[in-house]
A = this chain, B = another copy of it.
Amino acid sequence: MLPTIAREGDVVVMIDQRKLPAQEVYVRCKTAPQVARAIKSMVIRGAPAIGVAAAWGIALGMRRSAATGTQKFAAEFQKTCDLIAATRPTAVNLFWAIERMKQSFGTGAQAGESVDQIKDRLDREAQMIHDEDVASCRAMGAFGADVVPEDARILTHCNAGALATAGYGTALGVIRGAVEKGKRVAVFADETRPFLQGARLTAWELMRDGIDTTIITDNMSASLMAQAKVNFVVVGADRIAANGDTANKIGTYGVAVLAREHNIPFYVAAPLSTIDLRTLEGSHIPIEERNAREVTHVGSSQVAPTGAKVWNPAFDVTPHRFIAGIITERGIFRAPYTESLKQAFETETATPR
Contact = CB atoms under 8 A, between A and B. Distances in A.
Nearest to A187: B309
Nearest to A190: B219
A310 interface: yes
Interface residues of A, number: 56
Interface in A151-194: 157, 188, 190-194
Contacts of A207: 305, 307-308
Contacts of A221: 254
B258 A199 contact: no
A68 interface: no
Given A223-B250, A223-B253, A257-B258, A216 B304 contact: no
Given A223-B316, A253-B226, A302 B22 contact: yes
A203 B316 CA distance: 24
A313 B216 CA distance: 9
Contact of A304 (B190, B191, B258, B300): B191
A218 interface: yes
A69 interface: no
Interface in A200-240: 200, 203-204, 207, 212-224, 226
Contact of A223 (B302, B305, B313): B313
Contact of A305 (B204, B218, B251, B253): B204
Given A22-B302, A304-B21, A305-B204, A250 B217 contact: yes
Contact of A196 (B22, B303, B313): B303
A225 to B, nearest CB: 9
A23 to B, nearest CB: 10
B216 A219 contact: no
A254 B309 CA distance: 23
A299 interface: yes
Given A257-B257, A308-B215, A220 B313 contact: yes
Given A200-B304, A304-B200, A216 B254 contact: no
Contact of A218 (B188, B217, B257, B300): B217
Nearest to A301: B299
A221 B221 CA distance: 14
A302 to B, nearest CB: 6
Which of A157, A192, A222, A302 counts the most B-chain CB atoms under 10 A from its CB? A222
Contacts of A303: 191, 196, 199-200, 298-299
A87 interface: no
Contacts of A219: 157, 190, 192-193, 218-219, 250-251, 254
A99 interface: no
Interface in A287-305: 295-296, 298-305
Contacts of A310: 214-216
Given A223-B313, A311-B220, A215 B295 contact: yes
Interface of A: 21-22, 157, 188, 190-194, 196, 199-200, 203-204, 207, 212-224, 226, 250-251, 253-254, 257-258, 261, 295-296, 298-313, 316-317
10 contacts: A192-B219, A193-B219, A199-B296, A199-B304, A212-B309, A214-B311, A216-B310, A217-B295, A219-B219, A220-B250
Closest 8 CB pairs of A and B: A219-B251, A299-B301, A222-B254, A193-B217, A298-B298, A223-B316, A218-B219, A21-B305
